[in-house]
Structure 1
């Protein structure tokens, strides 16, 4: 079998059948096995590639990468009246979400405009008073505040985690990354979006709003904080810089400085990073801190985690 003919370079890695035919590409070429069909009327050569100057918020985790690739593919056939919404928009903004890989893209229209009807897409109607839109790397999507206020069907923990991410303030501090970067939104804007009209899950959203903080650096930190506070323990300070006799000692994920109790979430660390974390935690202990390390396994045993922190606080004089 002959290798497939090269496609016109101006088509890029993802393109519509209409554009291809306008450039003289025949139907036989459009159905060759080197092309995939992410959506009806769309062809792709491998994964869609973001624009060269694209800068995506967040840490570009697996879910977000897949969602961005699919969104770039769908954008080829997207009508001007459509925009990405709900969990899809949250992931395009880089937020950690519970959306499973392979879930349909969330695409919305305003008012009574015709809903998108396409394999791999879930259509939504949005109210103009409830939703503001913007563009990100050429994709039209709901603003972070509008996205968060549209997710009232999610569990409380997910609403807080996503809200923490959207509202993170990149403060100055020793070795802190991206100091001065603007948050994607604020709690004030989340409150305004929530109050713009009737929302599904409004009571849960309002509870979550009161629990969102600007200094959480990761979903696991957010979940750990939620577990501790809902169990009746005092709220820890987040990502606190701790000084020792010779200056900066460590930045602690969660801390009770009055009782010198620190809580550190440990992901999968390797090599030099692991060695540095050992030295940092040992320096804290040498300075008189109790350090509780939290792994994913411990986070899955919330009663045990809460008990460890409670016993540490009690040993340092905290009283309920």
Structure 2
């Protein structure tokens, strides 16, 4: 038989340790299982009416679950910095110092590694890896495309300086995983404006195509014409990523008018949709190489 929800005023809108409120007589163990409360971690509950985001869960883990020395890391740290987006229900990445025993814990992905004191910062009361250390962990834990996309955002928000990241990455040569770090640092670009654009750029470069310029501004007679997602300016070849906003007919019309102006300026503009990027990247890559080759030949 379902348990009737009961919400003491002192617990409304809060996150709390279940065993403590039971000991205080505020709720019974049976009442904790009612629809009034949402379990976040073992013995950690939230008011079910509270909006629980990934950030909320990180704060709860830091307060109620993580022992000293353990920090929020990876994609979760990047999310706390505003440089990534993780679904509310996804597990939290945490980094445990080598030699310290912790986990497994439901709702957490536990990674172990050496952590220097300078690798950890405290943000709104939450211990998390610094942006620079976060970059290293992203390089080790994620596919290159995904890692670079997040580092692009960290760089775009000036939380990471790419020249320093590239210089520091050389200092990690010889450590396990250093090649992934160096490659990620080389591929990162602070000019990227979206995760799909970053992934597209990285895949193009990894396929052996010269790196494009991001967000290149085309001008004619000193006047603005358009800004291109990816461009090879010397060859006047560009790639535009068509996101979901192109379902809007008015936006589609504006974009095609912009394309016509560019064609008037003798540009070749290739468009890539999410579907084509996912299902026919090889076909698109062939078209891009043909465009670049045709423009490389004397005219």
**C-alpha distance in 1, partners of 2:190/2:297?**
26
In the TM superposition, residue 293 of structure 1 has moved relative to its aligned partner by 0.7
Task: Give the 3 Å change call, closer, same or farther, for CA 42–191 of structure 1 in structure 2.
Answer: farther
Task: Give the 3 Å change call, closer, same or farther, for CA 260–130 of structure 1 in structure 2.
Answer: farther
- Residue 37 of structure 2 corresponds to which residue in structure 1? 35
In the TM superposition, residue 135 of structure 1 has moved relative to its aligned partner by 2.9
Cα deviation digits, residues 86-136 of structure 1 (max 9, x gap)? 333233334458x89855322233354441442222333342338611233
In the TM superposition, residue 23 of structure 1 has moved relative to its aligned partner by 6.0
Is residue 70 from structure 1 mapped to residue 57 from structure 2 by the alignment? yes
Cα deviation digits, residues 36-85 of structure 1 (max 9, x gap)? 212111111236548xxxxxxxxxxxxxx5x3243234234133433212
- Residue 6 of structure 2 corresponds to which residue in structure 1? 5
**C-alpha distance in 2, partners of 1:250/1:242?**
5
In the TM superposition, residue 311 of structure 1 has moved relative to its aligned partner by 2.0
In the TM superposition, residue 146 of structure 1 has moved relative to its aligned partner by 0.6
Matches within 5 A, 1:84-233: 84-96=72-84, 103-129=90-116, 132-151=119-138, 152-168=140-156, 182-187=157-162, 188-189=164-165, 191-192=167-168, 195=171, 199-233=175-209
Of residues 125-134 and 229-238 in structure 1, the stretch that sits farther from structure 2 once superposed is 125-134
Q: For residue 234 of structure 2, give the secondary structure of its aligned residue in structure 1.
A: coil
Number of residue equivalences: 290
Q: For residue 185 of structure 1, give the secondary structure of its aligned residue in structure 2.
A: coil
Which 5+ residue runs of structure 1 have no aligned equivalent? 51-64, 169-181
Q: For residue 102 of structure 2, give the secondary structure of its aligned residue in structure 1.
A: coil
Task: Give the 3 Å change call, closer, same or farther, for CA 105–229 of structure 1 in structure 2.
Answer: closer
**C-alpha distance in 2, partners of 1:237/1:122?**
36
Of residues 101-110 and 267-276 in structure 1, the stretch that sits farther from structure 2 once superposed is 101-110
**C-alpha distance in 2, partners of 1:198/1:123?**
24
Q: For residue 185 of structure 2, give the secondary structure of its aligned residue in structure 1.
A: helix
- Residue 82 of structure 1 corresponds to which residue in structure 2? 70
Please point out which of 45, 48, 59 is paired with 2:47: 45
Q: For residue 239 of structure 1, give the secondary structure of its aligned residue in structure 2.
A: strand
**C-alpha distance in 2, partners of 1:2/1:155?**
45
When the two structures are superposed, what TM-score results if normalisation uses the length of structure 1? 0.76
- Residue 311 of structure 1 corresponds to which residue in structure 2? 290
**C-alpha distance in 2, partners of 1:112/1:49?**
36
**C-alpha distance in 2, partners of 1:250/1:219?**
21
- Greater fraction of residues in helix: 2
Of residues 201-210 and 104-113 in structure 1, the stretch that sits farther from structure 2 once superposed is 104-113
Q: For residue 25 of structure 1, give the secondary structure of its aligned residue in structure 2.
A: coil
Q: For residue 258 of structure 1, give the secondary structure of its aligned residue in structure 2.
A: helix
Of residues 82-91 and 101-110 in structure 1, the stretch that sits farther from structure 2 once superposed is 101-110
**C-alpha distance in 2, partners of 1:303/1:130?**
45
Is residue 280 from structure 1 mapped to residue 258 from structure 2 by the alignment? yes
In the TM superposition, residue 160 of structure 1 has moved relative to its aligned partner by 2.5
When the two structures are superposed, what TM-score results if normalisation uses the length of structure 2? 0.81
CA RMSD, 1 decimal: 3.2
